[in-house]
Structure 1
Amino acid sequence: MQLTKLALSCALAYSASLAKAYETTDPSQQFAVTSPMETRLRAAMLDSVEFLGLITAMDVDQIKGQVVNVGSNVIATGRSETGRFTSGQTVDGNTYELVETDSCAFVTWATMAAWANAGNEKQFMQLMSQNATRRFALDVLRVGFNGVSIATTTNPTTNPLGQDVNKGWHQLVKEKAPDQVVTDPIYFNPDATGELAEGEYKTLDAIVTEIKNTLIPEQFRNDPRLVVLVGSDLTAAAQTKLMNQADKPSERVAAQMMDKSIGGLKAYTPPFFPGKRLVVTMLSNLHVYTQRGTRQRKSENVEDRKRWEDKYWRFEGYAVEEYTAYGAIDEAAMNIGPAPE
């Protein structure tokens, strides 16, 4: 298929719009994103995926350094005989390291032709821009929840969730605070009757309560920012059981809403979150950093591949502010069904 005349005209307008926004003469040649546009690009990515706007995303100056403290995790009130009371808030020893990160979001000529025919030039440019920023933003979460290693050359075929792109939040906690992640077998058995075996739970509420009481220290346990991140496999199993038991409309509504609050905490199922993982933490505890001044963009029509490619290069990485404020059950340890006899 050839790029239609209308689609090409719209694409050239999109390219001209990028050139104006980023103050570059030719966006098909790699260009640096200057400071004002760094802020706008970050804001566009945060706006494109709602959950990404809930965590801590910021620019830092160094490739390696101390994790940035953004919370208020210790008591700030008291007295001192020697002067005014203060309490330190440090994350000594908790460091981050950024790595080269390269993204490419493309739109095929066929899709571009369809977009051009479906609306006006302005709508076409919005679709092109949103496609790029949304895909870049979703990959931040994809890698953040699933990344386990940093490969010199990544393989998206064998690692479709970016497992080899970077070390995500869960992996960092497993490596640096392994006691915060349960790796012994856990059995979520919503069909259980009678006495439960060791490591067996009938409800997600019971599992969340156990995590709070055993993995989350007292200073965080009743923090109003504490939430549950829960995999879709777990909520599906719980909802199926409740729906099968419900015989009134009100009970069915309750079953449908059960994943909104678990164990007294607000619950989220983020994009690309592993289906059997369960985490109790504060969303602000999950950090993603980009090195200031490293963002590079490129936007071009690639005839050999019959598509338009938007490229985004930078130094990026992940960090967890307080390891002890992250309590989890690893997806490899979670089983849906009864414990073996």
Structure 2
Amino acid sequence: MNLTPIALSCLLAYSSNMATGYQTPDVSKQFSVTGPMEIKLRAAILDSVEFLKLITMMDVDQIKGQVVSVGNTGIATGRKSGGRFTSGQDVKGNTYELVETDSCAFVDWGTLAVWANAGSERQFMKLMSENATMRFALDILRVGFNGTSAAADTDPVANPLGQDVNKGWHQLVKEKAPDQVMTDAIYFNPDATGVLKDGEYKTLDAIVTEVKNTLIPEQFRNDPRLVVLVGSDLTAAAQTKLMNQADKPSERVAAQMMDKSIGGLRAYTPPFFPGKRLVVTLLPNLHCYTQKGTRSRKSENVEDRKRWEDKYWRFEGYAVDEMQAYGAIDEAAMNIGAAPAV
């Protein structure tokens, strides 16, 4: 299929608008994104996926360095004889490292033709822009929750969740603070009756309480910003049990809402979060850094692949501010069902 005349006209307008916005003569040739447009691109990515606004997205100057503490954990009040009280945060040894990160969001010619005929030229440009920024934004979370390594040559077929693109938050904690991640077998058994076996839990509330009380130190445990990130497999198992037991409309509503608060903590199931993982943490504790001045873009029609490609290159990486404020059960340790007989 070839591009239709109206699609070609819309793409010309899209390219022209993009060139004006980035103050570059030709967006089909790679160009640096600097100054105000760097800030604007970052804002567009944040706006495209709401969850990114809840974590710490930050530009840094160096490829390697100390994790940038957001400075909002632990006690900040006290006194000192003969002077003023201060309480510093010990981040010594907690470092980050950024790696080359290359994204490409494409739209095939057939879709371009549909978009061009579906609305105005302005609507077409909006669809194109949102497609690129949302793809870039979702990949930040995809890699952040699933990344385990940074391969020289990544394989998206073998690693569809970006496991080889970069080391994400969970992997960093497993390597740098392994005691914060439970790896012994846990059994979530909503159908349990009678006495529970060792490692067996009937409710997610009980599991969250165990993680919070066992892995989260006292200085973070009652922080009102503490939340639970819970996989969809776990919430589905809990909701199925509640829905099967519910025989009143009000009880069914309660069952549908149960994943909003678990164990007294606000609950989230972020995009691409592993289905059987459970994490108790502060959302600003999860950091994603981009090296300032490294962003570059390119937007072009690639005839050999019959598609329009929007490309975004930069140095990027992940960090966890306070390792002790991250307590988790690894998905490999979580089982849905009864614990085996002793």
TMscore range, shorter length = over 0.9
Residues 38, 295 of structure 1: 8 Å contact kept: yes
Secondary structure of 1:88 counterpart: coil
Kindly report which structure 2 residues correspond to 1:294-313, keeping only aligned pairs within 5 A, or say none.
294-313=294-313
* Structure 1 residue 89: Cα displacement: 2.0
Deviation at 1:92, TM superposition (A): 1.2
TM-score (norm 2): 0.99
Q: Which amino acid aligns with 1:102?
A: D
Distance 1:225 1:288 in 2: 19
Encode CA deviations 1:146-184: one digit per residue, 9 max, x unaligned.
Answer: 000110000000000000000000000000000000111
> Per-residue displacement from partner, 1:179-226 (whole Å, max 9, x unpaired)?
000111000000000000000000000000000100000000000110
Q: Name 2:129's counterpart in structure 1.
A: 129
Shift of 1:53: 1.1
- For 1:53, the aligned partner's letter is K
Structure 2: distance between partners of 1:226 and 1:240: 26
What secondary structure does 1:212 align onto?
Answer: helix
**1:254-333 correspondence runs (5 A):** 254-333=254-333
2:179 equivalent to 1:174: no
Deviation at 1:321, TM superposition (A): 0.1
Please tell me the residue identity of whatever aligns with 1:86.
T
Deviation (angstroms), 1:34:
1.1
The percent of aligned pairs where both chains have the same amino acid is 82
Q: 2-side partners of 1:95 and 1:239: how far apart?
A: 40
> Aligned-pair distance for 1:85?
1.2
Instruction: Tell me how far 1:312 sits from its aligned partner.
Output: 0.3
1:56-135 matches, within 5 Å, as 56-135=56-135
What is the CA distance between 1:71 and its match in structure 2?
A: 3.4
1:31 CA drift (Å)? 0.2
CA drift of 1:76 comes to: 1.1
1:228 pairs with 2:221: no
**Residue aligning to 2:183:** 183
Q: Distance in 2 between matches of 1:125 and 1:166?
A: 31
**In structure 2, C-alpha distance between the alignment counterparts of 1:281 and 1:75, rounded to whole Å:** 17
In 2, Cα distance between equivalents of 1:212 and 1:106: 42
Q: CA RMSD in A?
A: 0.5
Query: Residue 275 of structure 1 contacts residue 331 of structure 1 at CA under 8 Å; is this kept in 2?
Result: yes
CA deviation after TM superposition for structure 1 residue 90, in Å: 3.2
Write out per-residue CA displacement over residues 100-152 of structure 1, whole angstroms, 9 at most, x where no aligned residue: 00000000010000000000000000000000000000000000000001100
Mark the runs of 5 or more structure 1 residues left unpaired by the alignment.
Answer: none
CA distance in 2, matches of 1:197, 1:35: 59
| Matched ranges for 1:13-92 at <5 A | 13-92=13-92
- For 1:316, what is the secondary structure of its paired residue? strand
Contact 1:148–1:167 (CA<8 Å) still a contact in 2? yes
TM-score by length of 1: 0.99
Give the drift of 1:280: 0.1
Question: More displaced, 88-97 or 157-166?
Answer: 88-97
- Distance in 2 between the 1:259 and 1:71 partners? 30
The CA distance in 2 between the partners of 1:82 and 1:72, in whole Å, is 26
**Cα contact 1:69–1:90 (8 A) shared by 2:** no
Letter in 1 for 2:45: M
Residue pair 1:186, 1:334 contacting (<8 A) in 2 also? yes
Q: 8 Å contact 1:72–1:89 — kept in the other structure?
A: no
2:11 alignment partner in structure 1: 11
User: Which residue in the other structure is 2:204 paired with?
Assistant: 204
Q: Distance in 2 between matches of 1:150 and 1:91?
A: 24
User: Which AA in structure 2 matches 1:77?
Assistant: T
1:165 aligned residue: 165
SS of the aligned residue for 1:107 comes to strand
Q: Which runs of 4+ in 1 moved over 4 A?
A: none
Number of aligned positions between the proteins: 341
Distance in 2 separating the partners of 1:99 and 1:82: 47
For 1:319 and 1:184, how far apart are their aligned partners in 2?
25
Q: Which amino acid aligns with 1:293?
A: G
CA distance in 1, matches of 2:273, 2:35: 32
